[in-house]
Amino acid sequence: MAEDKDDKDAEQTEEQAGGKKKKLILFGIIGIVLIITVVLVLWLFGGSSSQEQQASSGSGSPAPSSSPRPEIGNALYVGMPRAFVFIVPGDSRERTVQIKAQLMVRGEENEELAKMHIPLIEGTLHEVFSSSTADRLKTAEGKGQLRELALAEVRSALEEVTGNPVVEQVLFTSLVMQ
């Protein structure tokens, strides 16, 4: 009987080892698929825009831009390390709001400046966001106005410190209101 019990224990440990190997192989395959997906997405969407292709293949001068200032470098995104959580007054009660934001900058120099001044940017954005109301945040127009105000305030704060507005856009990647 003791031998039967030892045999059963040995079989169970072999089955567990086989199960662990299967899990390891499955995770490896999933990891490879994810890496291939990321590479394909970057390859497909990382190409130059048609306007850039026209400028480089066509005439010697770059195509005219519709923006008031010239583009310097590629668009880069600087994510805020934490979501902004604050309370705003509402129609019948106060509401809690959470906003996740990213900054669009042009060129690596502006990216480094933005990363260096994240505490200043976070403080400025928190002041702007918490001055809003629930009624304003319910509409797309109100959210757009809040983004524009946030951009103006962040640019102003960064220009005081760096002499350069640095940020081109403030983007909301998530906005939740309860």
Q: pLDDT digits over 15-64, tens only?
A: 666 778 888 888 889 988 888 888 777 777 765 444 444 444 444 444 44
Helix residue ranges per DSSP H, the chain: 2-45, 50-57, 107-116, 118-130, 134-137, 140-162
At 173, give phi and psi (nearest 5°). Answer: -90, -15
pTM to 2 decimals? 0.57
CA dist list (Å): 7 to 10, 13, 21: 5, 10, 21
pLDDT at residue number 39? 78
Per-residue pLDDT at 146 exceeds 50? yes
Which residues have a Cβ under 8 Å from the Cβ of 102 and sit 6 or more positions away? 77, 78, 79, 80, 170, 171, 173
Over residues 81-123, the pLDDT tens digits come to 999 999 999 888 899 999 999 999 998 899 999 999 999 999 9
Helix (H, G, I), strand (E, B) or coil at 98: strand
In what helix (H) or strand (E) does residue 59 lie, and over which residues does it extend?
none
Query: CATH 1.10.3720.10: does it fit domain 75-177?
Result: no
pLDDT tier, 1 (very low <50, low <70, confident <90, very high otherwise): low
Per-residue pLDDT at 80 exceeds 70? yes
CA gap 121, 171 in Å, rounded: 13
Which residues have a Cβ under 8 Å from the Cβ of 20 and sit 6 or more positions away? none
